[in-house]
Amino acid sequence: MRAIPRATSRTEEVMDLPYVETPDGRWLAFESTGPDDGVPVVLCHGMPGSKAGPRPRPMRLHSLGIRLISYDRPGYGGSTRKQGRSVADAAADVAAIADQLELAKFAVVGRSGGGPHALACAELLGNRVTRTAVLVSIAPATADGLDWSDGMAPSNVEAYEQAKTEEALIQTLTARAEAMRDDPETMLNFLKPQMGERDWAIVDDMRRQLHEAYREAVQGGPGGWIDDVLAFRKPWGFALTGIKTPVRLWHGDDDTFSPVSHSRWLKDRLPTAELEVQVGKGHFAAMETLPRMLQWCVGQAEQTEFALGPSAGAA
């Protein structure tokens, strides 16, 4: 682990980032929160997102004895872009971080767009991943027997449809990322009409944290966001039925961004999975549920109320 000076394409500001180098010469920016000797859990952020995504306060992580390791997927935040990446590629990146930190075993949690990447780790890293929690995930675009876009917010449907003609997707997300980098509130204004009142109340309460997370996500451009959408539209690159360790799925039945039908589909194909569906909860309620899922990841009795820390945030 080293700190490398990096100049962003927009501001040319130099930042010192903790990172690990991958075997193919890329680097991945990450953060470790909580005690160094705590039970390790790797967090896969949402889309768009960054390592500044939601997490419990550091003091809470210390009291629980959980070491939470979050990282920027390629093309987001401080991590080198990897064009053409698949969902499955996340496993090698997470393994590189775990190797650098000398973690023999660890749990993985993924929220929203991080869900498929967490499942990739569970399958491809085998028993090295002890437990996997997946919150408000999407299912594969080729999911048999699932009306994939039914109940999904128009913005998500549009993005995934545009992925069929890559040029349109690039134009749309480039413009959206530039606006979000200048003023992250534009992203919240764009999302607000597509979510329920309860979801908006959560977003409104975490506005400052969301601003931080969104701005960091696109500081180097829209590459990570574009590559996520493209990766979700093609085969993920691993077999769900190959996951042998425990998986816990969580979804709210009022989710307008990743419909609950996606988690129900995943549950039927994951041999070791259990599914919790909460009535009246939307997509962003996963940020409130994350601390409880972290406790499950490390085998602790779950508590229902936690405060999220100052770096809580991305969608």
The whole-model pTM stands at 0.90
Q: Does residue 78 contact residue 15 with C-beta atoms inside 8 Å?
A: yes
The predicted-structure confidence for 279-292, as pLDDT tens digits, reads as follows 999 999 999 999 99
**CA-to-CA separations, 187 to 89, 182, 214, 315, in angstroms, rounded:** 28, 11, 8, 10
Q: With CA atoms as reference, report the closest residue to 59 among 315, 291, 297.
A: 291
Q: With CA atoms as reference, report the closest residue to 246 among 286, 298, 284.
A: 298
How far, in Å, CA of 238 to CA of 242, rounded? Answer: 8
- Taking residues 226-242, report their average pLDDT: 96
Q: Does residue 33 contact residue 45 with C-beta atoms inside 8 Å?
A: no
Binned at pLDDT 50, 70 and 90, residue 1 comes out as very low
Question: CA torsion 88→191→213→254, rounded to 10°?
Answer: -60
- 264's CB contacts (< 8 A; 6+ apart) are 251, 275, 277
Count of C-beta atoms within a 10 Å radius of residue 267:
16
Given a cut of 60, whether residue 125 has pLDDT beyond it is yes
How far, in Å, CA of 2 to CA of 164, rounded? Answer: 39
Question: CA torsion 157→159→161→165, rounded to 10°?
Answer: 180
The predicted-structure confidence for 143-157, as pLDDT tens digits, reads as follows 999 999 999 988 888
- Phi and psi at 313, nearest 5°, equal 165, -75
Q: With CA atoms as reference, report the closest residue to 184 among 210, 159, 206.
A: 210
Q: With CA atoms as reference, report the closest residue to 74 among 184, 178, 230, 182.
A: 230
Residue 207, CA atoms < 13 Å, CB-side half-sphere: 10
Where are the extended beta strands (E) located within 142-255?
Answer: 247-252
The predicted-structure confidence for 32-70, as pLDDT tens digits, reads as follows 999 999 999 999 999 999 998 777 889 989 999 999 999
Binned at pLDDT 50, 70 and 90, residue 161 comes out as confident
Q: Does residue 195 contact residue 282 with C-beta atoms inside 8 Å?
A: yes
Binned at pLDDT 50, 70 and 90, residue 17 comes out as low
* pLDDT score of 304: 54
Helix or strand (DSSP H, E) at 17 = strand 14-21
Q: With CA atoms as reference, report the closest residue to 218 among 80, 49, 44, 46.
A: 49
